[in-house]
Structure 1
Amino acid sequence: MAIVELTDSTYEEAVREGVVLVEFWAEWCTYCKLMTPILNEIEAELGDRLTVATVNAETEILATERMEVMSLPALFLYADGQVVGKVTGYVPKETLVNEFLLKLLPRR
């Protein structure tokens, strides 16, 4: 699979089932740009266990406000519609995977 781009109208449905990692980002955000290759690698390595999605915080205002995003990038991990983890700012891949995703992903 590829990284999914979410909108205000697709957000709720996309996070309703399964495990979904959502990044809120903006074009002007330097740290968001640094997260892009990390998210691509996570999707390639863990895409069979979770969906990786992004939300443009500048254009998808309703989703951004609903999630009370105050700084970017903001990453939310969902499990069957419930937020089970949140992290903001740049996070190195190793930290994101080992300290955030693998601890919260359901065991296979």
Structure 2
Amino acid sequence: MESFKALINSKDLVLVDFFATWCGPCQMLAPILKEVKDTLGDSIKIIKVDVDKNQALMSSPEFQVKGVPTLMLFKQGKMLWRQSGVVPKEEIIRTIKSFQ
């Protein structure tokens, strides 16, 4: 949890994908996030968090992830955006660029 907090406290934008290996929509989102990373390069860090392996983090009062996939965008520890479900690549890129 401490290393996760260190990552989201970065001065860079950090997109966190709370996912599960058994989740169909999560599997659909994975290639979309790869395209987002390919498009935006070093201007964004993308972190995947397996909710089954990180239940304490998922259910913490700070994050309260109820369903997967859930995306959260952080900068300097502050959550800027949160969205559940599969989000189109263009919407993710537009959202990230709006905070750059």
**Is this a same-fold pair by TM over 0.5?**
yes
Question: 4+ residue runs of structure 1 moved beyond 2 angstroms?
Answer: none
Q: Partners in 2 of 1:89 and 1:101 — Cα distance?
A: 17
Matched positions, count: 97
**1:5 equivalent in structure 2:** none
Alignment RMSD: 1.2
Name the residue aligned to 1:68. 64
Confirm or deny: 8 A CA contact 2:36 2:92 kept in the other structure.
Answer: no
Letter in 1 for 2:83: V
CA distance in 2, matches of 1:65, 1:22: 15
Q: Distance in 1 between matches of 2:87 and 2:24?
A: 13
Judging by fraction of residues, say which structure has more helix. Answer: 2
**Correspondence for 1:103:** 98
Q: Does 1:39 align with 2:33?
A: yes
Distance 1:47 1:81 in 2: 21
Structure 1 match to 2:51: 57
Q: CA deviation at 1:9?
A: 4.4
TM-score by length of 2: 0.89
Structure 2 regions of 5+ residues with no counterpart? none
Contact 2:20 2:68 in 1 (8 A): yes
Which of 22, 25, 30 aligns to 1:28? It is: 22
Of the structure 1 ranges 8-17 and 86-95, higher mean CA displacement relative to structure 2 is found in: 8-17
Aligned residues with identical type, % of pairs:
27
